[in-house]
Structure 1
Amino acid sequence: MDLSKITSKHFETALNYARAIVDCKILANLDRRLACERFLKDLTRTDIDFRQEQFDFVINLIEGTIHHVQGEDRNGISYKGQPLLLTDWQKFVCVNLFGFFEKDSDIRRFKEALIFLPRKQGKTAFSAALTEAKSILDRRSGSKAYIVANSVKQTLECFNFLVDNVNELKEDVEKLRIRDNNQEHSISINFGDGTSDIYAIANQEDKLDSLNCNCLVLDELHSWKRAGAKKYTLMKNAMKAYRNKLLIGISTAGDIPDGFLANRLKTLQKVLNGSITDSAYDSYFIFICKADQDEEGNILNSKGEITTIDDPEVLEMCTPSINVTVTLEELLDDASQAMNEPQLKTEFLNKTLNVFTNAMDAYFDINEFRSSDMQYDWTLDDLARLPIVWYGGADLSKLHDLTAGALYGSYKGIDICITHAFFPKLAAVKKAEEDGIPLFGWKEDGWLTMSNTPTVLHDDIVNWFISMKQKGFKIKLVGFDKKFGREFFFKMKKAGFKIKDQPQYFYKKSEGFRHIEVKVKNKQFYYLHSDAYEYCVQNVRAIEKTDDMIQYDKLDGDGGVQRIDLFDASVFSCCQMLEDMAYGNVGTEWLNRKY
């Protein structure tokens, strides 16, 4: 790539910023460092072009015509009415988004972007300014942009910022119309040589259909549930009529650790570190600012050592606008409060360190399960060949909803749990959308079977146990609460399985629950990397009773939309193993008794 004609001072700023981070002159988290390395490598490529005209236009437009509408600087001086001067990281983003082009073309390289930031980094003002600048840049194509957030109130943060700024354009454009009422929040501008329309809408299904635009800003993606991929794809398809389109996701972290954003983040981190090299992600700009973590979710410092949440180095690493929009002293004060008050810790982790956590009421830390699971990599075929005695369990309490079967065994001290879900196909689409359950993803991955009937049939679950037996799994005993399906009970007997009536009393399930908990903490629990099982584990809420017994339920209680059925089935099967082991020991002692 020939950079000899690049004379822009903004390019110099972005280049120096990237080099400073790569050379560790600026403390930054791993993902931000990898983003800068990617930028420097891209500048050496010959299959894409790099030009300065568009990012110069965007940055100069923002700094020359857009002003702050609220806030104060670190010295308490009002920002209102002051020019919006971009920080180095913001210029770095602009240079990337508007500097790279497809080879010998006017089509910009980046079509999608994720800007993942802690709170108070100026993301609302920056995203609004970026939307206005891009709309003006692409006005000749009839630019149309949408700002989408979870609520109207959130979208109005951006919209009101834009209204305050575009009002000053009235004398310089042919036509400016602002609609700000209960029905519509929009800005329409006719520049004479092109038009620009900006809409602020809430993230509601009925408002997202039939969109047609070249710019989408998706705010606070962290609150999107697990089925958010459909909504994201719907909005991405809204830009098909344009070549120079841009979909920007801008967000902090949240407490849905297997939601759309959390899963997208994992994928994009693999793109940055080189694990994924698919060309489909070459058009995806990635800028991630968060605290570094190990596999168990522990916070790491710049040396990769486990540290505390009040480590100044960590706070500086994950805060790109430090000492501009927020000071280190303020962050340290927040960290101290979070350490002294557990009720504040989750919010601090989500919004300041920008890491995902479980919901506050969730009993398990899913990172502990994942860390244990990642120690092993047996396939089903491998497990079928091992000398393991397997114990089964099933949760058939609601055949019109999620139903589960499980096998549980132990090999050289490692507990292994194989789970499988069942769901009626007729209700799958509705429940996947309404309740945010990725049923079709589980089906593709082999963790779920869909019944072609209004309810799951007992035969479906029986056939799964038969198929596992045919694969070579030595199933000694299956536990099941007979009151939830005598038909299943007798069909399992008829199929040749030894099945035992296992009432679902919490004091009985407590033993299996505690056993799994201990095995997970000792990294001796393997569940074949099942996303479906992880989903259920994250939805478990538990209350400790007398004698350390545990009573568990789903997070949102009766009538809620979350599911724990696969975890339930694993507990049933674990209880069967523990009871059989106990009876086996008693029998051995009796046979070996001394007279």
Structure 2
Amino acid sequence: MAVTYAREVASGKRLACRWVILACERFLRDLKRKDIRFDVVEADRAIAFIESFRRYKGQWAGQRMTLEPWQKFVIGNIFGWKWVESGLRRFKYAHIEVPRKNGKTLLAAGISLYLLCADREGGAEVYNAATKKDQAMILHRDARVLIEKSKDPDFRAAFDIRKNPPIIEYGAADSFMKPLGRDTEGDTTDGLNPHGVIADETHAWTTPGFWNVLNSALGARSQPLFLMITTAGHNMDSVGRSHSLIVQRILKGEDGGEGDDYFGIIFTIEEGDNIDDQVTWAKANPLYGVTVDEKKFRSQLALAKADPAINRELKTKWLNIWINQASLWLDSDKWAGAVDLEFERERLQGMRCYGGLDLAITRDLSSLVWVFPPQEGLERWTLLAKFWCPAADIITRSKRDKVPYQTWAEKGFIVPTPGEVMDFGYIKKQIEDDSRLFDVRAVGYDKTYAASIVNPLIEEGVNMLSFSQGILTISPYAKELERLVIEGSKLNHFGHPVLAWNAGNVVVHMDANGNIKPDKKKSEERIDGIIAAIMGLGVAIETEYDGSLAGEWDCTIL
């Protein structure tokens, strides 16, 4: 029951984070208000409706949906609070932020069905909304299966379920439910009159346009519900993050009373909590030990310590911590430590290597990074970086941006090419010279600007491989470079100052599946050397460990 849960959390009897405690304290304070009342009968009615369904996944398939205390607290708040004067529901908006595997999607499916057929609303329209129709279908499919798995034949018969196009109709109230994706927004949002909108994974809603369209359509209903469910994410400008901050202001009492129709709860951890402590895991996960498995969590934690990408996933999806995607990628201290001071670069002569080539015409640096895999006489992955820049830009950048291009050029770390436009002839000659010095097996290059030197180099016998810049192609090798930097002892970059500067500038873009790619647009300064290093590393890994490559580099071969 909602009241019991609130008292247990507020008293410290039940473990919870700050935001859950504040949500419970808000609930208990509001019980004393005169303008609203908590309708226990209505709250219990909604809970009983959802618990009448049967689970259909995993080890609990076929069992009744016994809701956990946190879920009853959420449902009780949404459906139990009413305005005394009108008798209508208090909460128009609800934001539920909880890590994965804590039962939020199935809970949302139950709520959407309640809005469809049990909320006493004639002609109810309920929309399962997401950024893409396929994502919206996940929640819609859960709702459909709950109906189909019901043990009550009369209940099942009350619905007309169609799969193409997907829609669930409840004839007794002339109501319907359908999925709605932002990608189909232009065709489907005209004339909406929603009684319920269930917005799924709002951390992925990158712009507020779709949310605004749906919200503006709520006005015709007397007690509509706009329910948002999400985990934390990487986009600090997303709809999910925006509403997470709204909830925090409401719970801290900083909303000036404007959030009185807004319910919110956030399950996460506190700053300073020990990530290795089971208490921390339980604080963020209300179903820890129920659907959140301790062994799997511990295994995920072990992987996270070795793989930064998994670490980010652990924090956002398992501990519900928002992580700024625009934060710098490679730790500067770790990078500085990845140097073998005792190894003389002259020893690389004759050793096999692979190149990564990132070209620019103006303003950007052009870079070539030779990647030497571990081999006889070489214990570490070794990067030998070379940079070029138009001479005019070297002077301009040194004066305007206080970047020491001129000093780097004087010390030989950047080679100036005459004029304001890059002269690729210098780079072509360097590759030819290095091919006589090292055992060059292949050079990966980005097609942009490369046409003028690729064919001549091929004619010279250099194995040139076109390397796609797509995130699926580049991600495995970006993660491998990240791992090498973190371990330190397996990488040597000779402390090249321009490459170190590039490494300190890199911001990565991460997609919904955890794939990463250095983002030149979000990186405020040059990252060309790191792009080249990742390409060279990719060519080396594929050739050394998966056989040889030739021709077009394509993500489909990965």
With the length of structure 2 as denominator, give the TM-score of the two structures. Answer: 0.60
CA contact (8 A) 2:125 2:195 kept: yes
TM-aligned CA deviation for residue 504 of structure 1: 9.0
For residues 370-385 of structure 1, the aligned pairs below 5 Å read: none
2:103 is aligned, of 119, 122, 129, to: 122
Match of 2:71 in 1: 90
Match of 2:318 in 1: 352
Please list the CA deviations of residues 541-575 of structure 1 after superposition, one character each: whole Å capped at 9, or x if unmatched.
9998713641246646999794456x79xxxxxxx
Match of 1:283 in 2: 261
1:67 is aligned, of 29, 48, 54, to: 54
TM-aligned CA deviation for residue 60 of structure 1: 1.2
Q: For the residues of structure 2 that align with 1:244 and 1:506, how far apart are their CA atoms?
A: 62
Q: For the residues of structure 2 that align with 1:397 and 1:240, how far apart are their CA atoms?
A: 52
Partner AA of 2:94 in structure 1:
A
Match of 1:433 in 2: none
What 5-or-longer segments of structure 2 have no aligned partner? Answer: 332-361, 365-389, 410-480, 486-492, 510-515, 527-558
The 1:500/1:135 distance shift into structure 2, 3 A limit, reads same
TM-aligned CA deviation for residue 39 of structure 1: 0.5
CA contact (8 A) 2:398 2:404 kept: no
For residues 259-278 of structure 1, the aligned pairs below 5 Å read: 259-274=238-253, 276-278=254-256
TM-aligned CA deviation for residue 279 of structure 1: 2.4
Match of 1:38 in 2: 26
Please list the CA deviations of residues 407-457 of structure 1 after superposition, one character each: whole Å capped at 9, or x if unmatched.
xxxxxxxxxxxxxxxxxxxxxxxxxxxxxxxxxxxxxxxxxxxxxxxxxxx
Match of 1:159 in 2: 140
Please list the CA deviations of residues 52-99 of structure 1 after superposition, one character each: whole Å capped at 9, or x if unmatched.
2322221111112x1112122xxxxxx222111111111111111111
For residues 451-490 of structure 1, the aligned pairs below 5 Å read: none
Match of 1:28 in 2: 16
Residue range with higher mean Cα deviation, 160-169 or 548-557: 548-557
Give SS of 2:73's match.
helix
Give SS of 2:54's match.
coil
Tell me if 1:141 matches 2:91. Answer: no
The 1:159/1:22 distance shift into structure 2, 3 A limit, reads same
CA contact (8 A) 1:482 1:503 kept: no
Partner AA of 2:247 in structure 1:
L
Give SS of 2:289's match.
coil
CA contact (8 A) 1:236 1:247 kept: yes
Match of 1:466 in 2: none
What 5-or-longer segments of structure 1 have no aligned partner? Answer: 1-12, 73-78, 294-299, 302-306, 366-395, 399-480, 490-498, 512-540, 569-595
Tell me if 1:201 matches 2:189. Answer: no
TM-aligned CA deviation for residue 154 of structure 1: 2.7
How many residue pairs get aligned? The number is 375
The 1:110/1:546 distance shift into structure 2, 3 A limit, reads same
Partner AA of 1:244 in structure 2:
Q
Partner AA of 2:27 in structure 1:
F
1:332 is aligned, of 282, 298, 304, to: 298
Match of 2:227 in 1: 248
For residues 520-531 of structure 1, the aligned pairs below 5 Å read: none
For residues 559-570 of structure 1, the aligned pairs below 5 Å read: 562-563=521-522
1:546 is aligned, of 493, 496, 503, to: 496
Partner AA of 1:39 in structure 2:
F
TM-aligned CA deviation for residue 212 of structure 1: 2.1
Aligned-pair Cα RMSD in Å: 3.5
The 1:231/1:364 distance shift into structure 2, 3 A limit, reads farther
CA contact (8 A) 2:236 2:322 kept: yes
Q: For the residues of structure 2 that align with 1:348 and 1:278, how far apart are their CA atoms?
A: 35
Please list the CA deviations of residues 132-167 of structure 1 after superposition, one character each: whole Å capped at 9, or x if unmatched.
012223344311100012333332322222222324
TM-aligned CA deviation for residue 333 of structure 1: 2.8
Partner AA of 2:159 in structure 1:
L
Give SS of 2:12's match.
coil
For residues 190-589 of structure 1, the aligned pairs below 5 Å read: 190-191=171-172, 194-204=173-183, 205-207=185-187, 209-210=189-190, 211-225=192-206, 228-274=207-253, 276-293=254-271, 300-301=272-273, 307=274, 309-359=275-325, 362-363=328-329, 502=400, 507=405, 546-547=496-497, 549-551=500-502, 552=505, 555=508, 562-563=521-522
TM-aligned CA deviation for residue 344 of structure 1: 1.5
The 1:200/1:558 distance shift into structure 2, 3 A limit, reads closer
Partner AA of 2:222 in structure 1:
R
The 1:235/1:483 distance shift into structure 2, 3 A limit, reads farther
Give SS of 1:321's match.
coil
TM-aligned CA deviation for residue 199 of structure 1: 0.5
Give SS of 2:160's match.
strand
CA contact (8 A) 1:174 1:190 kept: no
Give SS of 1:141's match.
coil
TM-aligned CA deviation for residue 503 of structure 1: 7.7
With the length of structure 1 as denominator, give the TM-score of the two structures. Answer: 0.57
Please list the CA deviations of residues 177-236 of structure 1 after superposition, one character each: whole Å capped at 9, or x if unmatched.
21212xx21101112xx23211112232325532321100111111122xx223222111
The 1:501/1:116 distance shift into structure 2, 3 A limit, reads same
Match of 2:375 in 1: none
Match of 2:154 in 1: 171
Identity of paired residues, percent? 26
